[in-house]
Amino acid sequence: MIKGGTENQLGDFIRGRFLFIRSYCQGRNLDPEATMAAIKEEALRITESPERKEFLENRVFGGAILSSVVLPDWLDGVFLRAMTRVLQGDEGSLFTNSSKISCISFEAGRFNAHRQADTVFRILFSNKRPEEWLKSTFGILYTKCYGDKAARFLKVDEVGHRQYRITMNNRNLEKAGPMDCSTVIGYIFGSLEKLSAANPVVTHDTCGVRPGAASEDCIFNVTWQ
């Protein structure tokens, strides 16, 4: 276990990153093995700490990741950065503030929602209406990813017919950042797609983890028809 930082139950989410890369390659006729090797190389290149490099080499890229495994919070940021660079080059945007503008982090979150809704979290998605999922399930998933402490700040408010405002405070989490918020946009968007919400839109104009942000809160506005 890596010392320092926080660790949450991210195993299945990280496993989903590997599956996302495979699916991305399939759709574009890219060689999955070569792409994965390039992502590993890039992840190691952008990681400075020898301890973390070792973790990436042996625990993440070197063996199977079990869904239930507890992983350090810094890992996903390295993954998303390396994936974006390899899959989209220097042009690829690392983050977005709307489901209307895609990026790799957004698509990776959306992919995981689709996949987890059919597998590990099936019971949390089945027979739920979008509003029920937002009001109950989202909090359960958020707690798994961000921990109990952060979950105390989570608020899901109904602000109109099929209009919700989700407020969270991720400021003290090492994984927090605009890329992570983009995966949240993608995850909520992908979940609403799975729940058959018509034309969902998720926007994130107030982001507390961007440099110089006025508030610590991250606010996500969610609508559908």
| Residue ranges in contact with Zn ion by CB under 5 A | 181, 207, 209, 218
Residue 9: CB atoms within 10 A of its CB come to 15
Separation of alpha carbons 210 and 35, rounded Å? 30
List, as one string, the DSSP characters of 133-195: IIIIIHHHHHHHHHHHHHHTT-EEEEEETTEEEEEE--TT-TT-SHHHHHHHHHHHHHHHHHT
Q: How far is the CB of 213 from Zn ion (least distance, A)?
A: 8
Q: How far is the CB of 148 from Zn ion (least distance, A)?
A: 20
Nearer to Zn ion, 56 or 218 (CB): 218
What are the b/e assignments for 45-76, b being 16+ CB within 10 Å? eebeeeebeebbeebbbeeebeeeeebbbbbb
How many CA atoms, within 13 angstroms, populate the side-chain half-sphere of residue 184?
29
Q: How far is the CB of 181 from Zn ion (least distance, A)?
A: 3
Nearer to Zn ion, 36 or 219 (CB): 219
Nearer to Zn ion, 156 or 218 (CB): 218
Separation of alpha carbons 22 and 36, rounded Å? 8
Q: How far is the CB of 176 from Zn ion (least distance, A)?
A: 7
Q: How far is the CB of 59 from Zn ion (least distance, A)?
A: 28
Nearer to Zn ion, 166 or 209 (CB): 209
Closest CA to 80 of 55, 104, 114, 45: 104
Q: How far is the CB of 174 from Zn ion (least distance, A)?
A: 15
Nearer to Zn ion, 78 or 218 (CB): 218
Closest CA to 208 of 75, 105, 97, 83: 97
Nearer to Zn ion, 78 or 184 (CB): 184
